[in-house]
A and B are shown apart, each in its own frame.
Chain A
Amino acid sequence: MTPESVHRAASPVTGPRGGRVPFVLLGLGAVILLAGVALLVRDSGGGEGAAGADAPSAQARGRLGQGGAGGSSGGGGQQAEALPPRFDGTLCWKDLERFNEGVTVGNFRQWAAPLLASGDPVVRDYLRERLTELIGNDAAHATEVLGWARDAGPREFNVIMSALRASEAVHQPQVAARLLEQGVSGDLDGARRAGILSALDTQKRLDAESLGRLADFAKEPASGEAGWAATRTIARVMKRDFNEKGNLAPYLDKLLTIGTESPDEDIRYLALSMPMHATPVLDEDASARYAKVLTSEGSPDGREAAAHNLSVSGGDKARTLELFSQSFATEQEVCVRWALFRFAARVAGRDALPVMANMAVVDARFQPLYHVFERIYASGTLDFVRVWNSLPEQDPFGCLDRHH
């Protein structure tokens, strides 16, 4: 009965394509989890682990996105002070108690229609959660509700899919199989298929066959918005499974395949970047594949993502530093150079300083940054998250703007 936080964050089922995972998070690893990505964190259920990185999105207070660190957060509850706040009134619904008592899967669509049409966000959240309760663990209910997705308007569609996604029944094999089937089939438009595939992202794991089908679909040239959602679903289930001590390798393999084979740059980028949220320690094989991306991927975003993921690997640090050093020299994009520079510190900490000094010789714009890192390491700071939070400027080259 704890009252929920005062600050709420919307959590649409279908993330806007191109709206992407906020790239600002590229700054670092652990704290990305904090920084939010409301969608990623929100429904993860169990904790993220001992590091306490599982902040519910709602309290992340917006500015965490800035540089992905939230280093300077605080000031709880303080709003902009210049203008007196203005508040929208709320709506109280006469007869809602009777709605609540009498609503069933059978009459939900008819009864809920006027509530949905009102645009009242509080009652919309209620409808979503009530429908989840009505579905329960009943596969037949889930299937019936899924059937509505075909002709539902946008508001209703979001409620339906969010409710299904959060339901117990979505974990029943036949329900999950049906979602997958409808999501990858060509019957529905792209936005609906994207919503349906997104509703699979609460699965505890994906078996080899489902994973294969999602990945094959995602990398098809025409998969579009739905392919983007399929990719994100793979990555989210990967993170959940991994956090429950599962094996990340099969998922990562598929994401790397999508990330190198999809002709769609947005999907490639998503596939390459999403693993950073799980922060796996890369094995030799994954390291080698990301290393190849770093030297061959056409999109600068994809190369940045590769550098990010490579910065946490179990292999030979000297070899990774050498790779970063060489890539820096041939790289033309300053934002990718900045990624290689800061992630060198994440590879080897203070031991990376000589490599970073060389980078600053290659590109003099990095001289002042080098001195900042040198000073932070001299202070005794070890943890890269703290190093990152100590930076006076986390976006010295204006790279974040590109991603909004």
Chain B
Amino acid sequence: MSRPSSLTARVLGLLALCSFLPMPSLAASDPAPSLQAETCSVEGLMDGIRRGLGSKSEAYRKYLRTLLRESAVTLPDAELRAAFERETDPVMLEHLAAALVARTERGADPEAMGVVARRILGERDASLRVASLRALRRTSGTENTGDLYERLVRDASPEVREAAATNLIEDNLHVYSGHHGPAADRAVAAAAASSDPKVTARILDSVSTEHISAESADRIKSLLRSDDASVRAAAVNALGGVPSEQMAGARETLLAMYRDEPDTGVRKMLLQSIAQLGFAGAIPDLQRLRNVDPALAPEVDAWTRVLGMGLQEWSLILREKQRSRQAP
């Protein structure tokens, strides 16, 4: 890099002076940026994000997002809301929505999340509805946005329905660790309300039903009669994890369903949920079903063997079952 200037120096015979001469090529490439900290503003942050969107560095893009969200609680509320209301670019909208949501999540402004929810309901552009929805993911949005999700799982756009399902699933898993009955009940209600079998199945397959109400369990049972096999399988899956007071009823229902169920995938899931509802105690039930469908006899035998290990945690039983299936 210093070659051009030293060449110039030699040509000019001015080696001794060269250290005093400006060396443009060096100066242009290497001076450290004059990094100075200043107070953040809505405008400055948004400008930074807009410019940074094109950066190849994911670390930098993430920094800008994080900075806006971290700054949200101390930014002027009216300015932030105004910027959110007028934004029409999906990426920018998602960041602004995340900032507003952060204000509510941190207790700075209980209303801010509602602003986002209202925009989602009133927004005509599906990509903007999805963008705002993404900002609500892994927050308390499930319990603080009224009937938003029950409406969104019936949205005209499949992307919006999918995004709503993702939020319900991730809120339950990551915010409530699957241990909050009301959050699970909302997810079940949304699954039942959805017009989209894919959404219904995905929610029921993914949300813990450990603390659901009896009403939710009944809703799930009604989905066992769905025409869509993936919905039936997911409902069966969900019933395997119900609270102890609903276990006996779920077991009866699933045992009765096995004989007439036409779909092999659903039948496999029936075996799994029957195992979950009974642990080692389910072995006799499974044995009785062994001859109903000879193709599934090996599956029954695999369950019998794993349940016979006497493990006392469902996650471990399931893990051993999966490991056994993948063993050579």
Binding site for B on A (CB under 8 A): 1-7, 28-30, 34, 49-53, 55-56, 59-61, 64, 70-79, 81, 85, 87-102, 107, 110-111, 114-115, 118, 120, 122-123, 125-126, 129-130, 132-133, 245, 279, 281, 312, 314, 317, 345-349, 379-386, 389
Q: Are A92 and B37 in contact (CB under 8 A)?
A: yes
Q: Confirm or deny: B3 has a beta carbon within 8 angstroms of a beta carbon on chain A.
A: no
Q: Confirm or deny: B57 has a beta carbon within 8 angstroms of a beta carbon on chain A.
A: yes
B57 interface neighbour in A133, A381, A386, Cβ under 8 Å: A133
* Distance in angstroms between the alpha carbons of A371 and B213 in the assembled complex: 26
Q: Are A73 and B57 in contact (CB under 8 A)?
A: no
Q: Are B52 and A385 in contact (CB under 8 A)?
A: no
Q: Are A130 and B60 in contact (CB under 8 A)?
A: yes
Q: Are A96 and B177 in contact (CB under 8 A)?
A: no
Q: Are A3 and B94 in contact (CB under 8 A)?
A: yes
| 6 tightest Cβ-Cβ pairs between the two chains A and B | A76-B140, A51-B315, A77-B140, A74-B180, A129-B59, A3-B98
Q: Are A6 and B59 in contact (CB under 8 A)?
A: no
Give the chain B neighbours of A95 by CB distance below 8 A: 33-36
Q: Are A281 and B311 in contact (CB under 8 A)?
A: yes
* Distance in angstroms between the alpha carbons of A4 and B319 in the assembled complex: 29
Additional 12 contacts, C-beta under 8 A, given A4-B69, A100-B55, A129-B62 = A4-B62, A56-B174, A76-B171, A77-B104, A78-B140, A94-B34, A96-B35, A97-B52, A279-B313, A281-B311, A383-B279, A384-B312
Shortest C-beta distance, B43 to chain A (Å), equals: 11
Q: Can you list 21 contacts pairing A with B, beta carbon distance less than 8 Å?
A: A3-B69, A4-B69, A49-B318, A61-B177, A74-B180, A75-B140, A76-B176, A77-B105, A85-B73, A85-B106, A88-B74, A91-B40, A96-B48, A122-B70, A126-B62, A129-B59, A130-B57, A312-B313, A348-B312, A380-B245, A380-B248
B315 interface neighbour in A30, A71, A347, Cβ under 8 Å: A30
Give the chain A neighbours of B173 by CB distance below 8 A: 52, 55
Q: Confirm or deny: B219 has a beta carbon within 8 angstroms of a beta carbon on chain A.
A: no
Give the chain A neighbours of B140 by CB distance below 8 A: 75-78
Give the chain A neighbours of B266 by CB distance below 8 A: none
Q: Are B48 and A92 in contact (CB under 8 A)?
A: yes
Shortest C-beta distance, B4 to chain A (Å), equals: 19
Q: B169-196: which have CB < 8 Å to A?
A: 171, 173-180, 182-183
